[in-house]
Chains A and B, each alone.
Chain A
Amino acid sequence: MSQQSKELEQLKALYKAECEARLAAEQKLLEVEHNALDHSQQLQHIGQFLEQAVGVQIQELQTAKGDLESQKQEAESANQAKTAFLANMSHEIRTPLTAIIGFAQSIKNGLISHDRLPEIIDIIIDNGKHLLDLINDILDLSKIEAEQLTVESIDIDLFKVLHDITNVCSPTAHHKDLKFLVEVDSNVPSSITSDPTRLRQILLNLCNNALKFTQHGSITVKVSYFERLNTLEIDVIDTGVGIEPEKAQKLFTPFTQADASTSRKFGGTGLGLYISKQLAQMLGGDITLETEPGKGSTFSLTIDCGIAQFDVESFDQYRKRSSPFADIFDIPKLSGQVLLAEDNEINQRLITTHLDACGVKVVVAEDGQQAVELALESDFDLVLMDIQMPNMDGKEAFETLKALGFSKPIVALTANVISSDIEVYLQMGFSASLAKPLDLPKFYDTLAQYLPRGKHSNNPSLVRDEAPFLTQLRQQYQREMDNYKQQIKDALESQDWQALFEVVHIIKGTAGNFGFNALTAHAGVIQQDLRAGSFDKVQLQIPRLIQLLNQAQSV
């Protein structure tokens, strides 16, 4: 039993140990299982994390790929544009060069007839000028593209800029029978701060385009100021061909005029508007376009005014003050001689300038008396007669001349613009009446009515008309000059001024008729000095008189 119980005891102990071991093992297993679960969770997390991380990277990669692709496209299209630009530029430059070289060679090879030469040379010059414009534009363009173009910000006399533009554009407008108008709102500042060169450049471009594409009607430059925005708007409004809307946008792209044939027909580099728009933006504004085919276009330029300053003087007043040539037009080419009777020195100078400009010779009379004297003395084609003058007024001078049979036209110049006065002058027999300050187109129209065109030789003198008859008479007269010389000497020796006056008087009255005009003129001077009692002066003048007599005798 004991053995048995021992064995049992042993077995019990074994079992117990076994159980304990099993428990421990089970616990261990649980532990391991737990651990494994933990690990697997961790792994899951890691996996999820990895998944996320990779996903983000893929996305990033995809985006990067997309960016690269679009950059590549941009680069490609930029390159295409550059190629197209270069091709176009090369074409634009080649065209005028072809003309220049081609025509120059034709001249060299004797293919151009002499009478066509001026025309061909004009073509060469025009093309050269066009080339120069083109190169200037391209330079601007490349500066703009390289962002190297800087704009100034300095005080600009805005009225002056507008005035200058008018002066530049009006002749072309007049030539094409177009009106060129500048309308400036009363609230527009007279001075702003901006870049004067660039502003001028933009305005000239817009106005030149308008002139180019307008055949009838007018070009109006309308200037407004928006106080709250401190912005200036300059509208260039034309009544020209206009542009279809789909083509309008292309105008602001380099080298694309609305129509390929445009360049040929109207010239221009096709860069101007693009450059102008860029410049306008640099000046804090823009250029926009409203247009309708057949009705015309309005290009609106806006710029920032910077520091705007205002003046009481309006633009119109400024214009009148700064130049009487405000409205430039073709000055006719005339000839002939005009007597200007005008006592005011400023007006004398002004009107003389206008007369000089059209090729007319002017003699000025200071008052009505002198006007009468001069009108009778010389041959004038026209008399311009101021009405209010000292000593003898214009009306009296007019009546005096008419009473003596003066038949050349006499035009009244008057500050009286009252129409009833003008009526009176015309009834009196004045050929026309012009108001001062002069309306130049009207002034030149009036002149053109009475004066011969262009160059013409003066009236053939009587000397040439009757040569055979005169030759004899002149020879006789030349011999007679010996007596004059003797009489002069005698008179001088005896200081007999009356005798001297008489002989000088005869010379004055006769020499000119034989063509000895210098002699007549000099005798006239001596006569005046004699009358004034300047005998010292007279004595100094005599040797010249003798010299002229000798010269006349040797003819």
Chain B
Amino acid sequence: MKNDTAEKTILVVDDVEYTRQLLRNAVLAVLNAEPEHFKFNRYKFVNASNGVDAMAKIEQYQPDLIFLDIELPGGINGIEILKRIKKQDAHAFVIMVSGESTIENVQNSLKNGASGFIVKPFSAVKVAEAMKNFEKKVLR
């Protein structure tokens, strides 16, 4: 890919503002903590607080990486959004975010093409793992 080192866009979909901030914070902390392990370090963060908002932001920003909360209010949950995202772009790299890693959530995520699954509260290890997996996919 020619623009490997170009700025990447991360969309964070979560209804709680703190969670969005914390996730962004976690990603930046991971990149700062071990910069030698990451090729990309320029990221732009975009937020969405529900499904409709998320679809609009995807349209608008074409994010490279999406963190998608499963438990969203307003009838349309993360799994539904995942289905729609994947329908539009089968290669989208989507990391599911949830308060609980119930096997239903996990299997639904996997079945619908999620590339990762992160549980709240965020651990540096898991976030780092997700970011590395993302880089691997982009560089492949």
Contact = CB atoms under 8 A, between A and B. Distances in A.
A477 B18 contact: yes
Contacts of A369: 103
A404 B132 contact: no
Interface in B104-140: 106-107, 109-110, 114-126, 129-130, 132-133
B16 A406 contact: no
A404 B110 contact: yes
B21 A473 contact: yes
Nearest to B21: A473
Interface stretch (A41-49, A171-179, A239-247, A460-468): A460-468
A369 B102 CA distance: 8
A122 interface: no
B102 A373 contact: yes
A376 B22 CA distance: 18
A449 interface: no
B126 A400 contact: no
Contact of B114 (A404, A466, A513): A404
A509 B120 contact: yes
Contact of A372 (B33, B101, B116, B123): B101
B120 to A, nearest CB: 4
A229 B136 CA distance: 75
Contacts of B102: 373
A260 interface: no
A74 interface: no
Interface residues of B, number: 39
Interface string A495-525: 0000000100110111111000000100000
Contacts of B110: 400, 403-404
A181 interface: no
Given A462-B29, A510-B22, A404 B109 contact: yes
B120 A508 contact: yes
B110 to A, nearest CB: 6
B103 A508 contact: no
18 contacts: A373-B102, A373-B106, A376-B101, A376-B118, A377-B100, A379-B125, A400-B110, A404-B115, A405-B115, A405-B130, A405-B133, A461-B124, A462-B25, A462-B124, A477-B18, A505-B99, A513-B26, A513-B122
A345 to B, nearest CB: 21
Interface in A472-497: 473, 477, 480
Given A372-B101, A372-B106, A505-B71, A510 B16 contact: yes
A470 B126 contact: no
B19 interface: yes
A245 B23 CA distance: 79
B50 to A, nearest CB: 14
A5 interface: no
A373 B101 contact: yes
B22 A513 contact: yes
Contacts of B118: 376
A113 interface: no
Interface in B53-77: 71, 73
A459 interface: yes
Contacts of B32: 465
B93 to A, nearest CB: 10
A469 interface: yes
Q: Which 8 A-B pairs have the closest CB atoms?
A: A512-B121, A509-B120, A405-B133, A376-B101, A369-B103, A379-B125, A513-B121, A373-B101
